[in-house]
């Protein structure tokens, strides 16, 4: 995973600088265009044919011969047992590893299963003693969130890739838009106002009935949440919470950065009935605050009564939360806040370590209007 530091100017009456560590190249969204919303019969085995090529690979591989490709057949039974065979040809060199990973098209993610070869690297299969997919991973398979990745010496991150898509899922475009203004955040100490920039953040499609995995555990923040909530730094999240994906490049921009008034992030997910969306984005003029869905499972429904959700999300369905990792200063002025602090992860410890809404912690903030608008658009 490549990362770098990016400096940028925030919005407001003063010019403020701060630095975020940002993951590069994690936000294109050229998902495929499968359709249909039905979960398959859980008692059946599903089989999928997959084409692997360099065009799906992230980052873009180097020195790939013309015609480098692969084909695979993969089956998942009702218990999550995976059977798969992958054949590869015309690679730059012998394939060194082949894995099934978890991430949507256009993203990279962690290894789920490692394959083995008996013929020196031309044909790979899932070994008989490989662990079965968990219920959560079966959900990832159904929504098209698993992929084959073939590694070579010349392309250690991967030379050819093939997304495994059973064709069960609906694709949704998710838009997070900053609708704050110069007058949104009241600064009582000097009787001024500021806008509320929002940071790159994380999202996850999941089926957990009780809570978004992004927010677990609830008695203290995971490392991914702490980094986003304090510094807008998305880098630790995917390792901290498997299945996490990142949004970081504003619409119309070519590089990662925050969004001020009028700015937006967009990303595409695939989902099947019963899947939900969790997300977090930093309330930047704070020590450790973020917006996230705030209903019983901290997630937005993507289907209701089996039908894809469409339109603007009710503003009551998300709210400002506190990660419980840094003591709170006055929003928009605190010396330990990301816009002014000397280094990331700087600030006094939070006396209340709970991951909870401001309301739930007995806290509040003075805003003159809304900051975030969320829109869900199913793709035809
Ligand atoms: Ca706090
Ligand atoms: Ca901290
Ligand atoms: Ca801080």
Q: What is the mean pLDDT of residues 126-133?
A: 96
- Residue 143 reports pLDDT greater than 80: yes
Ligand nearest to the CA of 334: 3
Give the Å distance between the CA of 379 and the centre of ligand 1: 38
Could you tell me which of 285, 266, 288 has the C-alpha nearest to residue 346?
288
Same domain, 213 and 317: yes
Give the pairing type, strands 170-178 and 111-114.
Answer: unpaired
Under DSSP, the state recorded for 314 is P
Same domain, 179 and 58: no
Q: What is the mean pLDDT of residues 183-210?
A: 96
Q: Which residues surround ligand 1, an ion (CB under 5 A)?
A: 288, 322, 328, 350
Same domain, 104 and 181: no
* pLDDT tens for each residue of 278-336: 999 999 999 999 999 998 789 999 999 999 999 999 999 999 999 999 999 999 999 99
Chain centroid offset of residue 183 CA: 30
User: Residue 225 belongs to a domain with what CATH number?
Assistant: 2.60.40
Q: Tell me which H or E stretch contains 234.
A: none
Give the Å distance between the CA of 226 and the centre of ligand 3: 10
Q: Classify residue 8: in a domain, yes or no.
A: yes
pLDDT band at 32 (very low <50, low <70, confident <90, very high): very low
Ligand nearest to the CA of 339: 3
Same domain, 119 and 174: no
Q: Classify residue 355: in a domain, yes or no.
A: yes
Q: What is the mean pLDDT of residues 83-112?
A: 96
Q: What is the mean pLDDT of residues 44-66?
A: 96
Q: Is the peptide bond before 23 cis (omega within 30 degrees of 0)?
A: no
Same domain, 157 and 176: no
Q: Which residues pair with 276 in a beta bridge?
A: 206, 301
Residue 205 phi/psi, 5-degree rounding, is -100, 130
Give the Å distance between the CA of 137 and the centre of ligand 3: 35
Same domain, 70 and 139: yes
pLDDT, position 209: 83
Q: Classify residue 116: in a domain, yes or no.
A: yes
Ligand nearest to the CA of 285: 3
Give the Å distance between the CA of 268 and the centre of ligand 1: 31
pLDDT band at 190 (very low <50, low <70, confident <90, very high): very high
Q: How far apart are CA 247 and CA 277, in angstroms?
A: 13
* pLDDT tens for each residue of 203-244: 999 998 889 999 999 999 999 999 999 999 999 999 999 899
pLDDT, position 33: 35
Residue 139 in tokens: 């959900």
pLDDT, position 42: 53
Secondary structure class of 229 (helix, strand, coil): helix
Could you tell me which of 173, 154, 155 has the C-alpha nearest to residue 57?
155
Give the Å distance between the CA of 324 and the centre of ligand 2: 9
Same domain, 223 and 303: yes
Strand order in the sheet with 69-76: 111-114, 95-102, 146-152, 160-164, 46-53, 69-76, 82-89, 123-125, 116-117
pLDDT band at 40 (very low <50, low <70, confident <90, very high): low
Residue 142 phi/psi, 5-degree rounding, is -60, -35
How many domains is the chain partitioned into structurally? Answer: 2
pLDDT band at 41 (very low <50, low <70, confident <90, very high): low
Residue with tokens 């700015």: 263
pLDDT band at 44 (very low <50, low <70, confident <90, very high): confident
Same domain, 263 and 291: yes
Ligand nearest to the CA of 288: 1
Look over the chain and give the mean of its residue pLDDT values, rounded to a whole number.
90
Give the Å distance between the CA of 371 and the centre of ligand 3: 21
Domain that holds residue 13: 3-29+170-378
Residue 170 in tokens: 């609906």
How many helices (H) and strands (E) would you count in the chain? 3, 26
Q: How far apart are CA 320 and CA 334, in angstroms?
A: 18
Same domain, 180 and 280: yes
Residue of 5 and 73 predicted with greater confidence: 73
What's the longest Cα–Cα distance across the chain?
Answer: 73
Chain centroid offset of residue 317 CA: 19
Secondary structure class of 274 (helix, strand, coil): coil
Same domain, 58 and 193: no
Q: What is the mean pLDDT of residues 96-114?
A: 95
Residue 221 in tokens: 């923040």
pLDDT, position 296: 78
Give the Å distance between the CA of 92 and the centre of ligand 3: 46
Q: Classify residue 317: in a domain, yes or no.
A: yes
Who contacts 112 (Cβ-Cβ below 8 Å, separation ≥6)? 99, 100, 101, 102, 133, 137, 140, 146
pLDDT, position 23: 34
Give the Å distance between the CA of 187 and the centre of ligand 1: 18
Give the Å distance between the CA of 285 and the centre of ligand 3: 10
Same domain, 190 and 63: no
Give the Å distance between the CA of 287 and the centre of ligand 1: 6
Give the Å distance between the CA of 218 and the centre of ligand 2: 16
Same domain, 8 and 92: no
Give the Å distance between the CA of 25 and the centre of ligand 3: 26
pLDDT, position 375: 98
Could you tell me what percentage of the chain is helix, strand and coil, using 3-state DSSP and rounding each to the nearest 5? 10, 35, 55
Give the pairing type, strands 372-378 and 82-89.
Answer: unpaired
Give the Å distance between the CA of 225 and the centre of ligand 3: 13
Give the Å distance between the CA of 294 and the centre of ligand 2: 23
Give the Å distance between the CA of 335 and the centre of ligand 1: 14
């Amino acid at each position: 995973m490549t990362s770098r530091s990016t400096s940028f100017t925030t919005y407001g009456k003063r010019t403020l600088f701060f630095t975020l560590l940002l993951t590069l190249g994690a936000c294109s969204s050229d998902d495929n265009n499968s359709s249909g919303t039905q979960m398959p019969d859980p008692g059946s085995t599903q089989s999928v044919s997959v084409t692997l090529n360099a065009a799906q690979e992230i980052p873009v591989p180097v020195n790939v011969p013309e015609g480098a490709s692969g084909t695979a057949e993969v089956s998942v039974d009702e218990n999550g047992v995976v059977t798969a065979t992958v054949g590869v040809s015309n690679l730059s060199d012998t394939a060194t590893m082949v894995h099934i990973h978890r991430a949507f098209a256009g993203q990279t993610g962690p290894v789920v299963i490692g394959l083995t070869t008996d013929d020196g690297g031309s044909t790979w299969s899932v070994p008989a003693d490989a662990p079965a997919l968990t219920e959560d991973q079966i959900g990832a398979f159904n929504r098209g969130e698993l992929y084959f990745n073939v590694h070579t010496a010349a392309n250690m991150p991967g030379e050819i890739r093939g997304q495994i898509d059973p064709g069960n899922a609906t694709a949704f475009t998710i838009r997070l838009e900053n609708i704050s203004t110069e007058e949104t955040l009241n600064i009582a100490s000097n009787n001024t106002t500021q806008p509320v920039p929002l940071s790159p953040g994380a999202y996850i499609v999941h089926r957990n009935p009780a809570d978004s995995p992004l927010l677990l555990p609830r008695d203290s923040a995971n490392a991914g949440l702490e980094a986003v909530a304090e510094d807008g730094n998305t880098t630790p999240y995917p390792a901290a919470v498997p299945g996490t994906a990142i949004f970081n490049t504003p619409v119309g921009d070519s590089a990662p950065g925050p969004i001020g008034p009028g700015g937006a992030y967009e990303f595409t997910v695939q989902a099947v009935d019963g899947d939900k969306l969790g997300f977090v984005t930093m309330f930047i003029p704070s020590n450790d605050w973020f917006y996230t869905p705030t209903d019983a499972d901290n997630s937005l429904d993507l289907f209701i009564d089996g039908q894809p959700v469409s339109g603007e999300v009710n503003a009551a369905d998300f709210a400002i939360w506190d990660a419980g990792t840094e003591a709170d200063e006055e929003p928009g002025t605190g010396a330990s806040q990301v816009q002014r602090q000397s280094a990331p992860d700087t600030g006094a410890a939070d006396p209340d370590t709970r991951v909870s809404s401001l309301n739930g912690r007995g806290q509040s903030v003075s805003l003159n209007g809304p900051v975030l608008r969320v829109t869900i658009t199913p793709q035809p």
